[in-house]
Amino acid sequence: MEIFTIILIILLATAILDLMVGVANDAVNFLNSAIGAKVASRTVIMIIATLGIIVGVTFSSGMMEVARSGIFNPEMLTFPDVMFIFAATMLTDVLLLDFYNTFGLPTSTTVSLVFELLGAAFAVSFIKVTQAGGGISEALTYINTGSVLKILFGIVSSVVIAFVAGALVQYLSRMLFTFDFSVRIKRYGAIWGGFALAAISYFLMVKGAKGASFLTADQALWLKSHALTIAGTSFVGWTLLLLLLQWTIKLNVFKPVVLAGTFALAMAFAANDLVNFIGAPLAGLASYTHAADSSNPMSLMMEALKEPVRANTWMLLLAGAIMAVTLWVNKKARTVTATSVNLGRQSEGFERFESIAPARAIVRFVLMLFNVFAVITPAGVRRKIAQRFDTSKYRPQPDENGELPAFDLLRAAVNLIVAALLVSLGTSLKLPLSTTYVTFMVAMATALPDRAWGRDSAVYRISGVLTVVGGWFFTALVAATVAAILATVIFYTELFGLIALAVLAAFLMTRSMFLHRKREKDFAEKERQFTGPMTTIHEALASLKNELSTVLTTTVQIVDRTHEGVSTENRMMLKEARKLAKDLEKNGKTMSATILRTSQLEDGDESLDNKTYAEVISSLQLLLRSMRHMTAQCFEHVDNNHKQLSDVQSEELALIVREVRKQLIVISEYLQRADFSMADAVAENLEQVRTLIRKSDKHQLKRSKKEKYTSRTSLLYLELLTEYEEILHHTGSIYQQCRKCYHGV
């Protein structure tokens, strides 16, 4: 039993880790709306969410059967079999969820658990069957296919229902209140809020009580039999209370609805998803306890796992406490939340996702549909609808830190109410549907009626949504595959393999922590460049000179690596240079936004014509484009194994590169100090280097007539000369235009 004692210890340890990484991923489900709308300070929102988690875990007892017998038939497996399955499941789960958290992608803890159990159980069953001479069809009898199909149907259908319900409720709510709801909220706000809060009360008190560990069967039956009375009383009570608060303290009724929705969704999340984190470890504990009482534990069949179970309330509360603490201290929770909030925000900003072809096709198709509807819809109807969705009067109020909300309170309320009702309904039906899928799809659906995805941002937002959704399918595939592999390793290697896998998991999680810090630092800098607060022209120009200087410093690195890579035919170095140039070109978009925002701060008699800043943006973009083209051409030449540059070409190129990097370094230092006293000398030096480049160009053309040079090598050499000249030209242009920008500063 020694190995199974170690497995039990690993299961309990991974249960704690899984609670931590799971909450970090699923915090987006109940935090994104309240934080996105900035309904209150982050501390208040976190306190309410924490209370929701603590209460919600006591409603999760009825869901624990999913991990015990919902995926496989335990009566067909022995005690060692199920312990190997649970160990493989938990090791896979902590690694998979931590991976998604590191990259800020919300995924489904439910899908990961289901497919991990499925993969591990199938692997163990297949090994047992093949050892006995059976086939794959016999191995499938070990799987509870009916339950698996029911769970998968609940997950898939919840995605569709969540999107349709979110879009419909948001459309009707926005039609009722519009974006300027200051007047209409006084008329309809209390009734709308009363209905929303009554619906939450009904589902959480009546439906959710089925799985509550602290209620007896008679108490749960009484609540069920008085469901309509509870719903009606709640509606009247909440409506009257909201009316009273409106009249007395001028309360915005959407605020208590959002806060109540945050509590409700946190509660529904804990009730529905706790099984994903501790279901397998608790099932392992039950198996270990049952086997310890047996005279022959190695051959004991585990039909005991099919028996109904009601988890200990104190154990559930302990799990809830771990989840609550994680919510406060885990920085990856903020990363995942930021992804969902940014994809649904009303305003523009730095987009974390690049455009992909399917997203571009979807945008074109939707635009075509809009044009068709515009033709067949009467002009009067279009005007009426446009007035209800007019965002011109939308004036979001900044929080105490001066940050604007990502969307308004109405959308936040709809997000929470619809998601909470759907998740609570799934819990009452004992369907471990994905709270991540539901809340994410609701949040994306409500962004559509609000027209949050404009022409300038739609393709990036849809790319992000497709990336997240694609990651969900990736979750299922990877979860099943990795769990099957780990279960196979543990089955054959037992203690040695188990310890090795545990050490590997610890190493990978530690490594991901450092990777996450680096990624978030990079994203924070890009977001700051794009939307960071700048109050004065002095502050803006100070930031601008630092960023432009950094661009030129990176340009020197790219020039050096490209030249060395071509000279030595170092493919990996050229690949690095190409990636560096590509990343710098992406950063150029945020740089351009910084320059544009700087121009907007110019005022007074000394303000510049916007053309000056436009020329800086143009020169910057052309500079970055030249570097990307240069690195791509060099990499392609070496990657295709074309002939190396001749000795004469290499010598001339080395001289030119020395002069180019010298000028880039000098201009970078001048920009860093905002020193433009040497502008004439800089222009003269740049012209001398360009003259040197033109001479080399002529020399190459003469050599081509006398000597045998391959066309590809000659073209590469001439392209390099052209790009070096372009780089110097655009760098000089940036310096001269910045000279005008820094007038009097």
CA distance 120 to 488: 8
Q: What is the pLDDT of residues 128-160, one digit of tens each?
A: 888 888 778 888 888 888 877 877 777 778 888
Is the model more confident about 355 or about 344? 355
What integer is the mean pLDDT of 578-597?
75
Is the model more confident about 404 or about 38? 38
User: Would you state the pLDDT for residue 608?
Assistant: 45
Q: What is the 3-state secondary structure (H, E, C) of 147-186?
A: HHHHHHHHHHHHHHHHHHHHHHHHHHHHHHHCCCCCCHHH
Q: E strands of 68-163, at which residues?
A: none
CA distance 136 to 663: 69
Q: What is the pLDDT of residues 450-468, one digit of tens each?
A: 777 666 667 777 777 777 7
User: Would you state the pLDDT for residue 601?
Assistant: 54
Beta bridge partners of 78: 301
250 in helix, strand or coil?
coil
Q: What is the 3-state secondary structure (H, E, C) of 296-354?
A: CHHHCECHHHHCCCCCCHHHHHHHHHHHHHHHHHCHHHHHHHHHHHHHHCCCCCCCCCC
Residue pair 274/57 in contact (Cβ under 8 Å)? The answer is yes
CA angle centred on 218, ends 213 and 219, rounded to 5°: 60
For residue 264, pLDDT over 70 is answered with: yes
534 in helix, strand or coil?
coil
User: Would you state the pLDDT for residue 31?
Assistant: 78
Q: What is the pLDDT of residues 668-692, one digit of tens each?
A: 888 888 888 888 888 899 999 999 9
User: Would you state the pLDDT for residue 589?
Assistant: 67
Q: What is the pLDDT of residues 410-430, one digit of tens each?
A: 888 888 888 878 876 776 666
- CA dihedral in degrees (128, 307, 281, 325; nearest 10)? 160
Residue pair 316/213 in contact (Cβ under 8 Å)? The answer is yes
Residue with tokens 């661009």: 551
What integer is the mean pLDDT of 707-717?
73
Give the closest residue to 121 by CA, choosing from 479, 434, 493, 475. 479
What integer is the mean pLDDT of 636-651?
86
For residue 597, pLDDT over 80 is answered with: no
* Mean pLDDT score across all residues of the chain: 79
Q: What is the pLDDT of residues 725-743, one digit of tens each?
A: 999 998 888 888 787 766 5
Based on its alpha-carbon atoms, the radius of gyration of the chain, rounded to whole angstroms, reads 31
Q: What is the pLDDT of residues 186-236, one digit of tens each?
A: 888 899 989 888 887 876 665 555 555 566 677 777 777 777 788 788 899
Among 50-54, 131-135, 650-654, 689-693, which stretch is predicted with the lowest mean pLDDT?
Answer: 131-135
CA distance 132 to 78: 15
The backbone region for 494, taken as left when phi is positive above 0, alpha when psi lies in -120 to 50, beta otherwise, is: left
The helix or strand, by DSSP H or E, that contains position 443, with its residue range, turns out to be helix 435-447
Burial 355-391 (b: 16+ CB within 10 A, else e): ebeebeebbeeeeeeeeeeeeeeeeeeeeeeeeeeee
Share of the chain above pLDDT 90, in %: 10
Q: Is 301 exposed, middle or buried (0-12, 13-18, 19+ CB in 10 A)?
A: middle
Which pTM value belongs to this model? Answer: 0.66
User: Would you state the pLDDT for residue 534?
Assistant: 47
User: Would you state the pLDDT for residue 607?
Assistant: 45
Residue with tokens 């001066």: 402
User: Would you state the pLDDT for residue 454?
Assistant: 64
CA distance 234 to 223: 13
Among 34-48, 165-179, 227-241, 368-382, which stretch is predicted with the lowest mean pLDDT?
Answer: 368-382
Beta bridge partners of 301: 78
What integer is the mean pLDDT of 555-577?
91
User: Would you state the pLDDT for residue 489?
Assistant: 92
448 in helix, strand or coil?
coil
Q: Which two tokens stand for residue 39?
A: 């309904």
User: Would you state the pLDDT for residue 510?
Assistant: 81
Q: What are the backbone dihedrals phi and psi of residue 42, each rounded to the nearest 5 degrees, phi first? A: -60, -35
Q: Which two tokens stand for residue 713?
A: 């090598």
CA distance 423 to 157: 12
Among 121-135, 537-551, 693-707, which stretch is predicted with the lowest mean pLDDT?
Answer: 537-551
What integer is the mean pLDDT of 544-550?
77
For residue 655, pLDDT over 60 is answered with: yes
- CA dihedral in degrees (374, 379, 381, 383; nearest 10)? 100
Give the closest residue to 200 by CA, choosing from 269, 264, 253. 264
The helix or strand, by DSSP H or E, that contains position 669, with its residue range, turns out to be helix 647-673
CA distance 631 to 637: 10
User: Would you state the pLDDT for residue 65?
Assistant: 65
CA distances from 485 to 432, 489, 497 (A): 25, 6, 12
User: Would you state the pLDDT for residue 139?
Assistant: 84
348 falls in which pLDDT band (50, 70, 90)?
low
CA distance 508 to 389: 48
For residue 605, pLDDT over 50 is answered with: no
For residue 540, pLDDT over 90 is answered with: no
488 falls in which pLDDT band (50, 70, 90)?
very high
Q: What are the backbone dihedrals phi and psi of residue 301, each rounded to the nearest 5 degrees, phi first? A: -80, 145
Residue pair 592/620 in contact (Cβ under 8 Å)? The answer is yes
CA distance 324 to 92: 23
Among 24-38, 72-86, 227-241, 661-675, which stretch is predicted with the lowest mean pLDDT?
Answer: 24-38
Q: What structural domains and CATH numbers belong to the chain?
A: 2-393+404-525 (no CATH), 533-741 (1.20.58.220)
What integer is the mean pLDDT of 160-181?
85
Q: Which two tokens stand for residue 655?
A: 């001289």
User: Would you state the pLDDT for residue 270?
Assistant: 78
User: Would you state the pLDDT for residue 604?
Assistant: 45
Q: What is the pLDDT of residues 494-508, one digit of tens each?
A: 888 888 888 888 888
